[in-house]
Amino acid sequence: MTVLFTCTGSTMATNGTKNGSTRPARGAAPRVTSTATKPAAKAATKVAPRATVKAAAKPAPKAAVRPAPRVTSKPSANGRSNGAHASGAKGSVRGTTATWTVKAGLAQMLKGGVIMDVVTAEQAEIAQEAGAVAVMALERVPADIRAAGGVARMSHVKKIKEIQAAVSIPVMAKARIGHFVEAQILEALGVDYIDESEVLTPADDVYHIDKNAFAVPYVCGCRNLGEALRRISEGAAMIRTKGEAGTGDIVEAVRHMRSLWSEIRRVQGMRDDELWTTAKDLQVSIDLLREVKRLGKLPVVNFSAGGVATPADAALMMQLGAEGVFVGSGIFKSAEDVTDKKRKLDQQRRMATAIVKAVTHFNDPKMLAAVSEEIPEEAMRGRSTATMPREELLAHRGS
């Protein structure tokens, strides 16, 4: 079975899903600021998306496996995500920042790309040079987090700043699940996306961060449709299936991607009364579930993460329906036995480049064969998840 990622609707489609998702802020209510640099009245009246797509895209009979979604416009009633954000003083005459469209929109721009975990500015440069669409800053790559044990936290601020200074592509960074102060710090640093990540040690075993309250967009992990939609209702503007980070074993990534899509396909076949019960089972809003039924996909961009170690792994996840991939330990834990530093970096660079190419041509076996020839002989050694005790697994964190 091949799930093609077909022409999906514009991000406008996602606006409807945000209806009614505003909730009272919890705990130490993160600040929601509002300053419109434009004449206030004009900006305020213009934030809601106008008009609808007049005609639905009709794919040619054999062109696509899923029908292109009809994009209807619901008024974007989510006051918060359309609220203006106090941005830095740069530029004076602009529009409205931090809208849902610009948050989810950056993820749209990353599609068909590879986001690479990096620890240092040097690795970030290698990633950019190899064609990564973004880098994820973290203290250690997941394989090292596993090896080191202890508590894994947000990366050091100095490291993040060095990485930001080193590259022009977007810089993402991980915060612990529920640690909204780490997130506030990352937002203050101007990272482009925050990953509220199960790879770090959770800071809160009950609540996730109220992501709607931030101007910076979030990406979150999921194992299935319920987790994905709960994160989206909390404000995640991008989803990644979790996989099992730091193992180099693709089996969990495959399991999660297959679960997600099979549930989406099931939802597509549901009657309205069935949708109600499913919404209750999944603990998600009926509006969000209806949106999934209508679109035939998640209302935000979905990448694959956790276990990609080769170009073939990356292409596998793309063919299973990922819109792009995160690669963590797969690059900078390859060529581990190479002692010469220059040679090691060169091999890691080759692996990174090959994975980028494989994601572009994920459906072209000849191209994949050519790309796979370019990689170093020693991929990440990895560790089979089947033999790991449950307490070492990360994916069940933050459901």
Which 43-102 positions form the footprint of another protein (CB under 8 A)? 46-47, 49-60, 62-65, 68, 71, 73, 85, 87-88, 90-99, 101-102
361 in contact with another protein (CB under 8 A) = yes
H-helix segments, 131-206: 142-148, 157-166, 180-189
Binding-site member from 78, 128, 259, 310 for another protein (CB under 8 A): 128
Token pair for residue 201?
Answer: 């040690």
The residues, ordered by sequence, that sit 6+ positions from 223 with a Cβ below 8 Å of its Cβ are 241, 242, 255, 256, 259, 260, 395, 396, 399
Binding letters toward another protein, positions 130-149, x by CB under 8 A: xxxxx---------------
**Is 174 a known active-site residue?**
yes
Active-site pick, 18, 103, 159, 174: 174
- The span from the CA of 395 to the CA of 249, in Å, is 13
Shortest Å distance, C-beta 320 to another protein: 13
End-to-end CA distance of the chain: 28
41 lies in the site for another protein, by CB under 8 A: no
Q: What part of residues 266-325 is at the interface with another protein (CB under 8 A)?
A: none
Element (H, E) at 41: helix 40-46
Segment interacting with another protein (CB under 8 A) among 42-50, 141-149, 205-213, 272-280 = 42-50
* 123 binds another protein per the rule CB under 8 A: no
Q: Which is nearer to another protein, 23 or 42 (CB)?
A: 42
Paired tokens of 15: 């606006």
Asked whether position 190 contacts another protein by CB under 8 A, the answer is yes
Secondary structure (3-state) at 135 = strand
> Based on CB atoms, which residue is closest to another protein, 40 or 148?
40
| Contacting range for another protein; rule: CB under 8 A; set: 246-254, 277-285, 331-339, 361-369 | 361-369
**Is the CB of residue 193 less than 8 Å from the CB of residue 172?**
yes
Residue written as token pair 């996989």: 243
- Number of residues interacting with another protein: please give it, by CB under 8 A: 82
Q: Please choose, from the candidates 218, 122, 120, the residue with its C-alpha nearest in 3D space to the C-alpha of residue 160.
A: 120
> Of these, 163, 177, 216, 379, which contacts another protein (CB under 8 A)?
216
Residues 6+ apart with CB under 8 A from 3: 65, 261, 319, 320, 321
By CB under 8 A, residue 360 contacts another protein? yes
- Is 185 among the residues that bind another protein (CB under 8 A)? no
Kindly list the catalytic residues.
174
